[in-house]
Amino acid sequence: MRYNVELILSNENIPKDKNRIIISLLKHIYESYDKDYYVSLYENEENKSKSFAFSLYMPNCEFTREEIIIPNKKIILNFATADMRDGILFYNAALANKGKPYKVKDNSITINRINMNKEKIITNDYAVYSSMSPVVVREHKGDNEKTWYHSLNEEKGKEIFIENIKYQLLDSFGEERRLDIEEVDFQVLINKEVKVKHYGIEILSNICMIKVQAKPYILDYIYKSGIGSKRNSGFGMLDLV
Amino acid sequence: MGEKTRLYMEDWLYNSGLVGFYNVLKHAENDVVIKQNYIEFESDALVGFEKKYFNYFIDKYKDTLSLNKIISFEKFILHHEENNFENFNEKSLEFTNKYISDVAKKQIKSNSYKSAYELIESPVDILGLEKNLKTINLKKKQEIRDILPEIKDIFDLMKQVIKYMKLEESRKYIGAKNAMYSVIKNGWNGVCFLNPQTKEKDMYIDYKCYFIDPTIEYLNTDKSKFKYSCFSCNRKMKDFSNDLSFLNSTGFDVSRKSSHVWDFQNDIAVCPICKLVYSCVPAGISYLYDKGIYINDNSSMRNAIAINNKIHMGIYRQKDEDKKLTYKALVESINEEYNDKIKYELADIQLVRYEDGKYRFNILSKNSLKVIKDSEDDLNKLINCGFKEINTYFNVYELVIDRLLNSQNMFTLIQKMLHYKLSQPRDSYYHTFHITRILRINIRFLKGVGCMKGVYKDIVKEGNDAGEKLREKYRSKGSVDKLSGISYRLLNSLKTNNVDSFMDTLLNCYMYVKSSVPEIFLDTLKDEDKFKTIGYAFVAGLIEGRKENNTDNENGGKDNE
């Protein structure tokens, strides 16, 4: 399920650490709509992996050193999820908060419009995706000291990326799909490294176009839930090319 | 004579014959001993059995025989004569005309009646009377009063006809003819009096010669030197002359199709006693027009007789309007059995139905019995529901019971009903609240087979309400017409079990009316059966919404919820 939500700002500049604001907004709407659901997503389990991904589109924006300036005060929030339930709850929560300004930093966000986008159906055993938000390749061994972000231009980065994908798929499809998951392979078609400010640190990430070979249902899942690390924080959302 | 013969229970068809045999003798007030798995009768009882046989049918199927339809008009005549035709209006005239053309003239002229006249000794020329019977037309400017003399003439004629029909002989022969063609024919055919080329015109004599005389002769002969044994009861017999091909959809023509038996040597034949019992099959199975029902309760003879007689009574006790339903009687007897505290007595018993010239079999499972019992209310509401498919009328009640007995769920039926409600509302005689009733029955059924665990809230109601509310919203936006297209799409998704496309359509609808998706739909994602139940309930609500006017539901009575 994919939605695009139009957000109206009261001020034309927002801090560069923009994902943080959106996460705050998401938490706010979930909490106000359905407390139980909010708790199950963000509080019950630390670092729970969630099934959705989002990205932002800011027309005609201008990046300055500390801030992003958006002249027409409009952000399009793209939201995608593979899980029906999450999709419906997102829609209901966003609808419930429609038109209510949410104060954040020196700005406020109002949800204006919610649209559902039609999803394409994947029938082939390969698909070409382009990233709607940067893809993160993170080497993470449970210790923040040793966490390292890789680029998809490097061999090491690709290795870790495929490892992460398989781990993600195994987690959601379970052991009985292991054979299908082992077969997953990918190529990077175009890649551009970027650095994104996220919770105070600069994260190396990739704006890329990749081709993935897998069973259609896996491709469909990747299409809907995003790829790479930090998917729920505004990274790794994909679109079909 | 005076010897006792025991007949043991065997397969279902033989059992139904035994029940019939018992019924015939009992009806004639002969003594028959019922034991655990056999009945015992004295050979004397076979004397005049042919009369007992036909008497049983003429009495038991009184209401359906055309002879009685003719006679029943007498009441109408007497009523008007007593009142001196004061209440005789155009409606009465119409009724009279309809009766004359559809019942009297049609039957009196029919071949089976004609052949019976030859057997009746009476000076009355019934066919001559028939020629004088004419319908009376009210000409323009004429009033009932003006044609009263004509009516009186016709009534006098009718009285003569009825007098003829009420003769003892008429009852004997015409009644027997009626019974032959409307009842007995359902059980067996092609031999004896049902053989079109039979030489003996009198069916009583024919029956006696064909079934009874051989039996009596057989009982009196020394069987010790016979080589063969009966296929059914294992009694010794002389030859293989009595095959089973006269029974409907049983047996085969031994001389022409010998490939059915091993080495092309037929060994399937019965003794004359069994043949006589088989000829009583129509008396054991309860028929309603061309449908029959028999419960093969073979644990005890007494139960078999009791339950089948209960069903027979159930069928003929029903009110005229739901006489089409053999199942109704079945359900009633099941419910009665339940009340008799022998709850599980009926469980796992074979149920045999005769439909479209074929026998169909079901096992009455404990589960389906329980569902039928628990759904009594819901089922009763469905009695008058039906739909037409091309030219055939289907009764929803029967379809639902059929599915319950076959342990099938109702989703395809509901799909079909909703589809017809959308595409040909003219031919679908039900409301969508009937569909919610079926959904409820279905939930009970699904719970019985171990699905839908942990469903405590009324998901049918919630789903249905959601549909109704959405319809309201569409109405207030002035776009109710969009709903039928949406319903088709939803039905398609439900049919193919496609949750994704169902939700897509659903979300689009809710976006269109700018409201949130009811929580009930979150439940649908977990379980296929829930998804279908809620989905269908939702579509049902969407199609019809809340009933606009409660008074206008001739199909199915009031829905008191």
Would you state the pLDDT for residue B551?
A: 37
Measured between beta carbons, the chain B residues lying within 8 angstroms of A84 are 499-500, 503, 525
Measured between beta carbons, the chain B residues lying within 8 angstroms of A87 are 503, 507
How far, in Å, CA of B468 to CA of B546, rounded? 6
Angle between helices B528-544 and B432-448 (to 10 degrees): 170
Q: Which helix (H) or strand (E) holds A109?
A: strand A107-117
How far, in Å, CA of B285 to CA of B360, rounded? 13
Closest by Cβ to A96, choosing from B503, B516, B525: B516
Would you state the pLDDT for residue A78?
A: 92
Would you state the pLDDT for residue B479?
A: 83
Would you state the pLDDT for residue B323?
A: 54
- Around B246, how many Cα atoms within 13 Å sit in the side-chain half-sphere? 26
CA distance A137 to chain B (A): 30
Contact A88 B521 (CB under 8 A): yes
Closest by Cβ to B525, choosing from A85, A95, A114: A85
Closest by Cβ to A88, choosing from B514, B515, B522: B522
Measured between beta carbons, the chain A residues lying within 8 angstroms of B499 are 84
CB B543 within 8 Å of CB B429: no
Least confident of B25-29, B74-78, B125-129, B364-368: B364-368
Contact A116 B504 (CB under 8 A): yes
| ipTM of the prediction | 0.81
Chain B: residue nearest A91 by CA?
A: B516
| Model pLDDT for residues B269-281, shown as the tens digit of each residue | 889 999 999 999 9
Which residues of chain B have a Cβ shorter than 8 Å from any chain A Cβ? Answer: 499-500, 503-504, 507-508, 510-511, 514-517, 521-522, 525
Contact A115 B511 (CB under 8 A): yes
How far, in Å, CA of B546 to CA of B544, rounded? 7
**A120 at B interface, C-beta within 8 A:** no
How far, in Å, CA of B216 to CA of B272, rounded? 9
Tokens 């027979």, residue?
B312
Contact A91 B516 (CB under 8 A): yes
CA distance A92 to chain B (A): 5
Instruction: Encode chain A (241 residues) as per-residue pLDDT tens digits.
Output: 889 999 998 888 888 888 888 888 888 888 888 888 888 888 888 777 888 889 988 888 888 888 888 888 888 999 998 888 888 888 888 888 888 888 887 788 898 888 888 888 888 889 999 999 999 888 877 777 778 888 888 888 888 889 888 888 888 888 888 888 888 888 989 889 888 888 888 888 899 999 999 999 989 998 988 888 888 888 889 998 8
Contact A87 B507 (CB under 8 A): yes
Chain B: residue nearest A2 by CA?
A: B504
Least confident of A153-157, B285-289, B324-328, B361-365: B324-328
Measured between beta carbons, the chain B residues lying within 8 angstroms of A116 are 504, 507-508, 511
How far, in Å, CA of B509 to CA of A185, rounded? 38
Buried b (16+ CB within 10 A) or exposed e, B500-518: eebbbbbbebbbeeeeebb
| Model pLDDT for residues B469-518, shown as the tens digit of each residue | 899 888 888 888 888 889 999 999 989 988 888 888 888 888 888 888 88
Percent of chain B scoring above 90 in pLDDT: 11
Give the pairing type, strands A107-117 and A74-81. unpaired
- For the beta carbon of residue B483, count every other beta carbon within 10 angstroms: 21
Would you state the pLDDT for residue B552?
A: 40
Chain A: residue nearest B508 by CA?
A: A116
- Confidence label for B555 from pLDDT (cuts 50, 70 and 90): very low
Chain A: residue nearest B517 by CA?
A: A92
Measured between beta carbons, the chain B residues lying within 8 angstroms of A89 are 522
**A89 at B interface, C-beta within 8 A:** yes
Contact B503 A88 (CB under 8 A): yes
Q: What residue type is assigned to position B55 of the chain?
A: N
3-class SS of residue B220: helix
Chain A: residue nearest B503 by CA?
A: A84
Percent of chain B scoring above 70 in pLDDT: 92
How far, in Å, CA of B561 to CA of B555, rounded? 16
CA distance B463 to chain A (A): 16
**A1 at B interface, C-beta within 8 A:** yes
Measured between beta carbons, the chain A residues lying within 8 angstroms of B523 are none
Measured between beta carbons, the chain A residues lying within 8 angstroms of B525 are 84-85
| Model pLDDT for residues B377-427, shown as the tens digit of each residue | 888 888 888 888 888 888 888 888 888 888 888 889 999 998 998 888 888
Would you state the pLDDT for residue B87?
A: 81
**For residue B17, is pLDDT > 90?**
yes
End-to-end Cα separation, chain B, in angstroms:
66
Contact A85 B522 (CB under 8 A): yes
Reference B328, options B384, B282, B279; nearest CA is B384
Least confident of A121-135, B67-81, B475-489, B537-551: B537-551
Q: Which two tokens stand for residue A168?
A: 């993600």
Is-above-0.90 flag for pTM?
no
- Residue A65 CB burial class (10 angstroms; 0-12, 13-18, ≥19): exposed
CA distance A95 to chain B (A): 7
Q: Average the pLDDT over B139-162 and give the result.
A: 83
Which one of A83, A88, A111, A113 would you mutate to disrupt binding with B, by most B Cβ within 10 Å of its Cβ?
A88
Would you state the pLDDT for residue B554?
A: 41
Closest by Cβ to A92, choosing from B504, B516, B525: B516
Q: Cα B452 to the chain's mean position, in Å?
A: 33
Q: Cα A151 to the chain's mean position, in Å?
A: 18
Would you state the pLDDT for residue B19?
A: 93
Measured between beta carbons, the chain A residues lying within 8 angstroms of B503 are 1, 84, 87-88
CA distance A88 to chain B (A): 7
| Model pLDDT for residues A134-155, shown as the tens digit of each residue | 998 888 777 777 788 888 888 8
Backbone angles phi, psi at B460, to 5 degrees: -65, -45
Would you state the pLDDT for residue B339?
A: 57
- Percent helix / strand / coil, chain A, rounded to 5: 35, 35, 30
Rounded to the nearest integer, the mean pLDDT of chain B is 83
- Confidence label for B559 from pLDDT (cuts 50, 70 and 90): very low
Q: Average the pLDDT over B450-457 and give the result.
A: 72
